[in-house]
Structures are given as structure tokens and as C-alpha cells.
Structure 1
Amino acid sequence: MKAVFYDGAGGPEVLVLREVPAPVPAGGEVLIDVAAAGLNRADVQQRLGVYPPPPGASDIPGLEVSGRIAAVGPGVAGFAPGDEVCALLAGGGYAEQVAVPAGQVLPLPDGVDLATAAALPEVAATVFSNLFMAAGVQAGESVLIHGAAGGIGTMAVQLVRAFGAVPMVTAGSQAKLDVVRSLGAEVLINYRDEDFVARVKDATGGRGADVILDVVGAKYLARNVEALATAGRLVVIGLQGGAKAELDLGLLMRKRAAVIATTLRARPAEEKAAIMRAVAEHVWPLIASGEVAAQVDRSFPLAEAAAAHEYFDSGDHVGKILLTMS
């Protein structure tokens, strides 16, 4: 099969397409003929050499795919060759075939075409596990979503709105803010020329955000804590702005607030399976009804993966970028 690898660490030019042996599904796994794969920031971080695959995971990048089941390994029930599915991966998605634990595989939501479904598993699992399973977002709460125009952000806005909470967002241009407004965002903050702490306080009558979903990390840590409401929860899922910063524990304690830091990729398969079951129960019906939708910006053929990464690096995209197979 054809698969994309990184020939060292660096820019998009390190992506190379190679012929490699196809995987064989082990016990509890299914083999998927990939129709499309989602591009995620974790793929870029792996390309840069700062986010290696977890032990035992494929060196091939790609954390989510859609496609048809080609074969099932021993002990798998509920799936059969020909089933159209999408899957959450620890790696291996930029390829024509991938083997994945069956617990991380879901049937397509009703009404979603096969290629578009590749835009769903990683963002749906990330957003639901962090905002609703870890941070416990409740109806009526205010939720600040940083980087709201990306794949995770556009899903977060829709799910926060769908569950009755108030989405507040930051993005870097008016065009991006206009898109997330159309998805349900109620407080729109251009981080390039506005102070998000002041805007959040103003929008909440001085109270602050009940929950903050942050992809920036160290650069925003102090300001995020300042923007939290009493008993607020800050969920850090990315380190685009660095990994180390000072934390004002006194302020955190006075607010009786919490900082939660998580990753999805390195979790054990059983934890990922539990998250995917929750996604199937709580998110898939919203997608089937049309209340929540995958946001796909652009698709590239697998052979043009370097161009897809170059486009991602530009920061011009809104929503997801996909790689499609022939």
C-alpha cells in the first residue's frame, strides 16, 4: 500500500510517499480501506519532531480516518467487511489501509458521506471527552474556546451550543469570527487586537468563564486563570504557545478553580473505546439530526500531503483539512 512518512523533522517538504506492506489486523482489530484521513495539529507537531508517536503506535501520521472495513481480526464482533466506518487512531491514517482496535471504530452518523466522516472522530472525541466528560460543562454555563476556527474549535462551538451552554470564542480575523458566529458563537473576540480577559469579564457581568478550552498553553496560562469564574475549569489540550509558565496558585485557590491538562493520543485503548462509546451516544445523534456538522475546509489527494500541510501551516483554514485516497 501507499503511505506517507516523515523523512526527518522539518517543514512540509519532509513528507514522502512510500510503498510499504499493508497491515494485518491482530486480535480485536479491524482493517480499514481508507477513504479519507483528517489532518490534525498533532500531525504537524510530529512532523516538527516535538510529538513522537506513543510506544507501539505506527510511525505513519494520521489520527483519524473514514473508510470501509476490509477484514476483521480474531475476536471482533459487530463489524463485517464492507461496513462504512470512521475511526480514532494512535497513528497510521495517512495510508491506504490501517489496522485499528475495534473499540475505536464507529459506524458513520446518518447523513454523513464517507469522505466527510474522516473529519469527525478526533475532534468529536477530543471535544466531548474534555468539555463534557472531564470539565462537566452544564447548560447555562459560559465556555471560552480558544482557536475557535480550527477543527476542534468549530466542533466545540457547536457542541457547547447544542448542550445549552454559551460559546465564547477567540480567533485571529473577522472572517473566522464570522464563520464561528454562524455556528452559534455568542461572544466573538479577535485575539490580535482585543483583551480576551476583559471581553469575557464584560460579557459575563464580571463573573468570568465557567470553562475554558485552551490550545495555546503557557502563553495564555495566567490570563486564562484570570478569566475563570469561581469554581471554573481550565482545560489545556495544546501547547502552541509553549509548555512552561508560572501559575498563580493563590488566585487559583481563591477561585476554587481547576486546571485540567489532557492528551488523547496516548490514552490506553480501553479509555479511547469508552470515549468513542460516549461520542456515539451523545454526539452522533446531533450530527444525524443536522444540529452539528463536520466543517471541512479543503481536501487534498494523499500524494499531495505536503501541500495539505503547507496550507495548514498558513493558518488560513477554517475547520478541517482532509487527505483523500484514489
Structure 2
Amino acid sequence: MLSGAGCLWMMQGDEPRGTAFCEEALAIAHELGNVSPTDVPYIGLAIGANVRGDYDEGARWNEEALIAFRALGDTVPNALPLASVILSNMALLSFNLGDVDRATMLAEEALAMQRTLAFTWAACDSLFLLARIANGRGEANRATDLYRESLGLASEHRDLQQIVDHFDQLALVDREAGRFERAALLLGAGSRLHELLGGHLGVELQASLDGVARDARVALGEQGFNEAWQAGHGLSLDEAIAIALEVEVAPRPPSGPSPEARWGVTRRELEVLCLVADGQTDHEIAGTLFISRRTVNTHVSHLLAKLDVQTRRQAVALAQAKKILPGWDPIRNPNPS
């Protein structure tokens, strides 16, 4: 409880209070002689040290946490997966400190554990770091292969932040390999995802991506760059991933039984739902289908009742999940009206 509270305080930016909670939790655990509760305090203390910029202390706490988790082995659920995550964190810390050889060793050890455990979420991060290392060493082909494998895992989890991180880094690799049109496409696709996520790029990453854009403009010309960037910006999520992976987009499977048969949704109601998913307002839907706004509202009310949901966005998400709404994409249409 104390260690969890400590981590929460750190996430809220109060490192001193977070560290104090973790230190108290660690002291109690040692007093009780119970090894299990000591694991999370170690991790929390490592986070606090890294926030303060005391990377040596952070590394020490990570190493103690790793020892504790490894000692638990498979006697405690998730002990070994968490040990592999600590290895990944240690690898990233070493990379940030400039010790690339140690970062490589730790990331490869973490990845081996994660493959054995089928811990794909963490394996994605380890592969991503190894790809960054390879690109920094000028090994563009190896970096591309590692990024592709990592992106494949990220796309399975539909983790948008991981996916956009790959778009950014692959754009850097493509610049080094002279693939400027693909780099511009990925810059556009990445920009769309960054807009959707609402996050801010770090100064270093922004400068790197600006460098890619500058070099691509020189190689493609202003018009060629703008066309490629706009094309990337307009891609759906799966289309952008397919380009990043350099594979064909899989054809849509047969639709199976009609929506009417499965859900009691009429063809007109399905048309309205598709337009809602496209982000159209009631006024725009009425104009598209040549019906009144009152009729649009009636169709929407019937849809919500039949799908047993409260909002239009829930209706769109459920219909997409149940394969009765073709073509809706969260990047192109993040906010159904």
C-alpha cells in the first residue's frame, strides 16, 4: 500500500513524497522479514532516483529489485515477467547514459526472457531499444528488421503510443537509407497520430524529425515532399502500419450474416450509423440521405436502443467490434458526432 502510494506521488510529480513512502514501505518489509513486499519499493525508489537525475542510485535500486524478483522465480505470479521489465529499464538507462554495449547486453537478455515467457508487450520495448541501437551504429537493415518485428507486436496490442514511436524511428531509418518518400509518408502518418494522442514531442525527437523533413524536402522537392506527407497524414491506422511493415493490406473478410439478421438494424439505420462514424452532424446526415433531421434523430434513437448503448460513439465502437460497421477508423474519425 505504501509503495503503491509512493509510485502514485511520483507519477504526480512529487518525487520527495513518493520516495519517502517507498522508503517507509521498504523499512517495514525488512522489519517483517518478508521479501515479496520489498520488490515494488525497490522499483519505486529506482524511479525516484532517475527523476532526480541520480542514475547511479537508480541503477543500484534496479539491480536490487532484479535480484529480489529472480529469487522469487516462478513461486510468485509475474515475478519473472517483472524481472524482464527491470532488465529492459536498466538497458534503457544504460543507453541514455551512453553505455551502448551494456544497454545491448541487458536488452538482449531481457528479450530472451520475454520470448520464453511469451511476454510480447515487454518484448516490443526491448526490440525497439535494440533497433535504436542498431540505427545509431549505422546498421540500417538490422534496425529496420527489428523495428518491423517490434511494430508487429505493437500493432497486435493496438498501442497507439508504441505505434507512433515506431513511425518516428522508422522515418529516421528511412532517411539514413535514402528512402525519402517513405520517410515523408511516415512523418505524415506519425503527425496524425501525435495529434490524436495530444502529446508533446521532446525537444531532441522534434529536432530529429525536423531534420528528416528537411532532408526529404531537398531530395523530393517541396511539392513532392508535401504530397507524400499529406498522403501519409490521410492514411488509416492499418494502412500506415502496412506501409511501415512494407506488406499488403489484407482484404476485408466476407461480412457474413447481414446486420438486419444479427441485430435487427435496418439498412437505413446502418447508413446513418456509417455517417455518424464518419463524423457527420445530424444536419449533414440529413442532407446526405435526403431526410429530415428529426428522422435522423429517430434512427439514432433506434440504433442506441437496439445496440443497448448510451452514446453514439459507443454505438460506433460496438458496431465496429461486431463487424457490422465496415471501414471506421479511429485516426480518420476519432470523434463521431
Settle same-fold status: TM greater than 0.5: no
TM-score normalised by the chain length of structure 2: 0.26
Relative contact order, higher structure (CA 8 A, sep 6+)? 1
Judging by fraction of residues, say which structure has more strand: 1
Judging by fraction of residues, say which structure has more helix: 2
TM-score normalised by the chain length of structure 1: 0.27
Which structure's CA Rg is the greater one? Answer: 2
